[in-house]
Amino acid sequence: MTAGRRRVLLGIGSNLQREYHIALALDALAHTYGELDISRVFESEPVGVEGANNFYNLVVGFYSDIEVAALSQWAKQLEVATGRRPEDGRAAPKHLDIDLLCVGDLHGVVSGITLPRDEILTSAFVLRPLAESFGSELHPVSGLSYAELWRSFQAAQQLWPIHFDWKGIAISRPDAPSTDKRHS
């Protein structure tokens, strides 16, 4: 199946050597896919991971014609290269976690991946950065914008924006909501 050029949204998280691994993921994404739209970086307490550091999470968007299976494989290879082991499971601390949130308007199971990712509607650490930086874009199933979804979201998880530099530029500041930012 040829994908055609689609908007890709990825969720990125880390709770081990957070700054290093987030920057590494952004470097790899920019090198591979070019210009990126990057949300602010949010810190949150780990859910279901006892004794772990807080997580850093953000959402990255770009356009690509890569197929879902190849994109998933690329993300998993980067996770493994940074120390993630398949046997660690979901509750383990993570050097790097990359989740395919949306690929264009695809929905359902595509190449073994459920799109859009369910966490968009259930996890503040995914929906808040989507709403801030990609707020006018529409959820492929509900048809609602991410900003609309966030306004009606009942957030139990606490998260807060942090200062984060990438390539010597402050891409995230706690005092200023992000808007679509282009980086390459």
Burial class (CB in 10 A: 0-12, 13-18, 19+), 126: buried
* Total domain count, the chain: 1
Cross-strand bridge partners of residue 114: 109
- Amino acid identity for residue 167 in this structure: K
Query: For 61-70, how does the pLDDT look when each residue is reduced to its tens digit (9 = 90+)?
Result: 999 999 999 9
Q: Is position 127 within any domain? A: yes
Q: Is position 1 within any domain? A: no
Query: For 58-109, how does the pLDDT look when each residue is reduced to its tens digit (9 = 90+)?
Result: 999 999 999 999 999 999 999 998 877 766 666 667 889 999 999 999 999 9
Cross-strand bridge partners of residue 9: 61, 102
| Residue 50: band (very low, low, confident or very high) from pLDDT cuts 50, 70, 90 | low
Q: Is position 59 within any domain? A: yes
Cross-strand bridge partners of residue 55: 44
- Residue 53: predicted pLDDT: 79
3 — phi, psi (to 5°)? Answer: -75, -35
In terms of Cα–Cα distance, which of 56, 7, 71 is closest to 35?
7
CATH code where residue 107 lies: 3.30.70.560
% of the chain at pLDDT higher than 70:
86
In terms of Cα–Cα distance, which of 1, 25, 2 is closest to 12?
25
Q: Is position 151 within any domain? A: yes
Tokens read off for 12: 């990125």
